[in-house]
Structure formats: C-alpha cells, structure tokens
Amino acid sequence: MAARKPTSKTVSFGAEVTRLREEAGLNRTELAARAAVTRSYISQVESGRTKCRRDFAERLDKALDSGTALVDEWDEVLRSSSYPKFFADFPRAEASADSLRAFETRIVYGLLQTEPYARVILGNDEAVLDRLRRQSTLTKPNAPTVFVVLDESVLLREVGSPEIMREQLEHLIEMSERENVTIQIAPIGYQRDARAAFTIATQPDRSEVAYIESSIGGETTLEPKDLTIVSEIFSRLQAEALSPKASVELMRKVVKERWT
C-alpha cells in the first residue's frame, strides 16, 4: 500500500514493530532482508504511513521470532472497539504516546479517576473496565509523562458522594507524587479560549493526536491547525494555573474543608 498520512492506529502498530525490532537487535535494513521487503517499506510501516496486510504482520512475527505479537496487534487495530465511535481512535494513540497533556473542565481526567468515581460517571461495568485498563498506561514500564490541568471546580463538584470525592482527591494527591505525573489546578475564572476539555497525545516520532470534547461526544483529530490551537491553549493554562506544589496544597485543603 502506498504511503499515506499516519493515523493513531497505524502509528500504534508501527511503534510496536519498532519496539520488537529493537528488542531483537535488528536495524531496519536487517528486518527488511528477513521479511523480503525494502527498507523503505519497513520505514513506512514503523512510522505509520502505511497499513500493512495481516499476512505481512505474520511475516514480521516470523522474522522477529515474536510469536503472534504483531498479528494480535494487527487484529486489535482493526477489531471493532468498545469505545464510542467518536473516541475509537484515541485510546490507541494514548497507549502508544510518550507524552500526554490533558485539560478538564468538569470532571477528573479519565486516567486519574478512581473506580467508584468512574462508575458514577460512566454508569456501566464494561465502560468502567475499559477505563481501568487504560489507566495502566500511567504505571507501565517507560510510562508517558503526563501533564494535567484541572479546573478548580472539578475539586468542588460532587460526583457520587462526599466519600467518593474524598477518595478521588486523595488519589490525585497520591498520583501527583509520581515522577511522570504533574497535576495543576486552574483557579476558577475566565481562561481564554479554554472552552472544552481536550487531551493531546504525543507519539515517539513527535507526531501528535488530539481528542477534543464537545456537547455531543467529541472528536479525534490529527489536523495541524487543531493541534496548534490546543497546544497553545494548554501552554497558557499551565502558565496561569497554580504550581504543582500549590495545587497539591489546595487539594488537601478541599479534602479537609469540603469532603471530610
């Protein structure tokens, strides 16, 4: 297949090919020779600029002695997702990202939600399990760096019960102690252009994918114009938000004064 614009799915598959190739101690030329293709084709697959056929994934598994790892990944990429259609592409970009930047206006960022909090928000067991599985992204080896800005109102808005809110805020405080997680609180007030929640997933090759929420669901986008806008908004939010240390102090204060 000819080279084309990368998607979150092809980028995710390509990242797995790269990881397995490097684990095998091969460069692209050596893998190309084993798989009987050109080096440029391996480059296209790894960068996500083409979607290979399933039988080629089988050849790669054989060349890399990786069992069925890439066939399984190929099947997972094309398998119908349990996520809503408007969100279907983004979890794969999230899982393969080496950096995540998220802004939330009304609820806690999904990867930082406790199970009871998520259960109130999502309302069904399958969706909760999907969210909990996504959260393993933050604790896996070589976990992405995560920068989250929460509107202060998120800390004050009761979801479920005071007990659930107390546990949720204590979890945020605990997660903020991780080296790869930075949480900042944006004081209640007007934040220029910050009208909706969004997440930006930066891939190992520095390409980016964004998920932008809306009143009817949301949108996954790779458009450079969209990415420039949300990146600029996030930079302003970080600059105007409380420092990470002050944010933790505020969360502790809210736990004590509102949710205890």
Q: Residue 3's pLDDT is what?
A: 44
Question: How sure is the predictor about 180, in pLDDT bands with cuts at 50, 70 and 90?
Answer: very high
Q: Please, what are the domains in the chain?
A: 8-78 (1.10.260.40), 85-258 (3.30.870)
Q: Which two tokens stand for residue 209?
A: 């994918």
The string of pLDDT tens digits covering residues 31-75 is 999 999 899 889 989 988 887 888 888 999 999 999 999 988 887
**Cβ-Cβ contacts under 8 Å for 164 (sequence gap 6 or more):** 114, 116, 117, 120
Question: How sure is the predictor about 79, in pLDDT bands with cuts at 50, 70 and 90?
Answer: low
Closest CA to 205 of 1, 19, 4, 2: 19
The string of pLDDT tens digits covering residues 188-203 is 988 788 889 999 999 8
The string of pLDDT tens digits covering residues 100-125 is 999 999 999 999 999 999 999 998 88
Please say if the pLDDT value at position 259 is more than 90.
Answer: yes
Q: Residue 82's pLDDT is what?
A: 55
CA–CA separation, 196 and 125 (whole Å): 26
Q: Residue 84's pLDDT is what?
A: 63
Question: How sure is the predictor about 126, in pLDDT bands with cuts at 50, 70 and 90?
Answer: confident
Closest CA to 54 of 24, 27, 76: 76
The string of pLDDT tens digits covering residues 230-242 is 999 999 999 999 9
Q: Residue 216's pLDDT is what?
A: 63
* Average pLDDT value over all residues in the chain: 89
Q: Residue 222's pLDDT is what?
A: 82
Q: Residue 7's pLDDT is what?
A: 74
Please say if the pLDDT value at position 98 is more than 70.
Answer: yes
Please say if the pLDDT value at position 93 is more than 80.
Answer: yes
Q: Dump strand ranges (E) for the chain.
A: 99-104, 145-151, 181-186, 198-202, 208-214, 217-221
Question: What's the average model confidence in pLDDT over 4-28?
Answer: 86
